[in-house]
Each structure stands twice: as C-alpha cells, then as structure tokens.
Amino acid sequence: MTDERNFRSSYYEKVGCRGVEEKKSLEILMKEKPWDKVKLKQFCLRFTVPAAYRNLVWKVLLDILPVYPDSHQFVMEQRTEQYQDLLYAVELLELIDMNAPRSKILLEMWLLENEERKPPVFLETNFCSADTFIPIAETLLELYGDEVDVYWLCKSLTEVVKQMQRDIHKLKEAFYAMLEKEDGELFTHLCDINALEVLPLTKWFNCCFAGVLDDTSLTKIWDKLCSGAPKVLPFVAVMLVITLRRKILRAKNPEDVIKCVSEIPEQCEEVIANKAIDLWQYYGAQPQNDQLAKK
C-alpha cells in the first residue's frame, strides 16, 4: 500500500501535474492582504512549498515576518540590524574564533541573545540545545545564501523543538505503533534483538532529521514542521527504518541496527521523505497522529 501511494505521488510530480497548480494556489494566497495564516498552514500541510517561495513562507509561518506583506521589508531591516549587532558583539567579546564554522558562530550569537553562557539542556529529554541548533543551522546554510534568514529561521525552528520536548515520548509511541502496523515483521525483529529502544529517536526528532537526511528531502518535511505539525516526524522515522528493512533484518544485535540507520544510501533519502509524507497524509495527518499518540 505504501509503495502504491508513493508511486502515484511521484508520478504526478514527475509529469508536472501537481507543481504548477500548487504554485498558482500559493500565489493566490500570497496576493491577499493580510495573508491568511490558517490557509497558508493548510496549504503547507497538504502540498510541498515551491522552492522560490519557501524562505518567505517559512518566515511568515514562524512569525519572523508579519502577515502584512507591506511590512516585510521594514521588519527584515530590523531583523538584519539585530543580527549585525549580535555578530559584532560576539566578535568584540571574543566569544568564539571568527574563523570557526558559521553554524557555531550563529550558535554563539543565539546564546548571547538569550544571555546564556553555555547551550542549555532541554529538561524533559536532557538533550543539549546545541545538538538541535547546529545541525539545523548547517542545513539552512546549504539552503539559503542570506545568513540573516538562516539565523532567524534556525532560532525559530529550535524554539519549535524546545516546545516539542514534552511530547517526545508521544512521538516515540506513535513511531512504535505505526511501525508495528506498517511492517510487523520488522517490528518483531527489532524487539527480538532488543534493538527497538536503541534507535536514536530522540536525536532524530530533536534535530528534525538535519544531518540525517539531505537538504532537498528535509525541506519537504520542514514545510510540515513550520506549519505546526511536528507529528510528521515519527512517520519519517518509520519510513527510514522500513526503507532499510533488508539490512536491518540481517542485523543480529543493536549495534548492527545502529550501523544500518547511520549509513543511509543517498538515493534513499528523498524516497524516505516522500513516503513519510504520503503515509502521514494517508492516515489523516494531524488527527491520526493525535490518535496514535494516545495509544
């Protein structure tokens, strides 16, 4: 069933039937004044945001920009000034070697803005916020040339993850329930070799698969994340494991499984993202996710 859904979705995209209509629909929404954020979120939950508009749409969804398009330029000027002030302060205070990777410099700016000396730990999961911020920043730096946009998007996505912490256990439960439903043989095998609990679910969810999947694959998933649907993440984990099922079924211990999921073939990454979104939408997206989380 999953393969059939994915084939249908991929076919429509390849022949261009979906992209053109989706772009027109989004452009109609963007002509409204002010933008209707509810409609914008609904669009992003149903479709993939066209690359040309993704940066702008994400900034509005994450409240970096207001819903009033006439104010976008002024607000971004203020955001840029704040970014430049933070960058100057980090250099002046010698908080980091300015030849360090840009993701680490952005992290220091974020810490300074939040008056933190060290990256705080998410209390609910004991997960270091730097392990969320840096992978997300590295992905965004590959996607966008404007570091101002990268900084503000990274800040906002890290905040999304922070707010998600109290539901991490529900996301894990959703993963277990869906994996058992979609591939009982694989689920049983992981249980039999005591490997189910060693899967790095907390890491995957807290970095939103940054550094796990490639940039092109991540954008489709982050469209949903920016729209307020972090419960898409367990479906990504499910399809990641199922896509690697042949290798995992040959695994004899938890260490073998960890090695399997740490070595994802490049050609599989977009397949994982597409199938995950298909599966999530097939099961009713948000409402179904809520039901799974209650199990």
Task: List Cα–Cα distances, 123 to 90, 186, 260, in angstroms.
Answer: 27, 32, 29
Local confidence band at 6 (pLDDT 50, 70, 90 cut-offs): very low
pLDDT of residue 285: 62
pTM summary value:
0.88
Structural domains of the chain, ranges and CATH numbers in brackets = 15-294 (1.10.472.80)
pLDDT in tens, 13-72: 544 445 678 899 999 999 999 999 999 999 999 999 999 999 999 999 999 999 999 999
pLDDT band at 5 (very low <50, low <70, confident <90, very high): very low
For the chain, the maximum distance between any two Cα atoms, rounded to a whole number of angstroms, is 59
Q: How many whole angstroms from its chain centre is CA 182?
A: 22
d(C-alpha 105, C-alpha 243), whole Å: 36
DSSP string computed for 121-159: EETTTTEETHHHHHHHHHHHHHH-S-HHHHHHHHHHHHH
Q: How far is CA 153 from CA 79, 106, 190, 231, in A?
A: 11, 11, 36, 20
Could you read off the pLDDT of 241-265 as tens digits, one per residue?
999 999 999 999 999 999 999 999 9
Residue 173 binned pLDDT confidence (cut-offs 50, 70, 90): very high
Burial pattern 189-217, b for ≥16 Cβ within 10 A else e, equals bbeebebbeebebbbbbbbbbbbbbbeeb
Q: Could you tell me the sign of the dihedral formed by the alpha carbons of 137, 277, 182, 14, in that order? A: negative
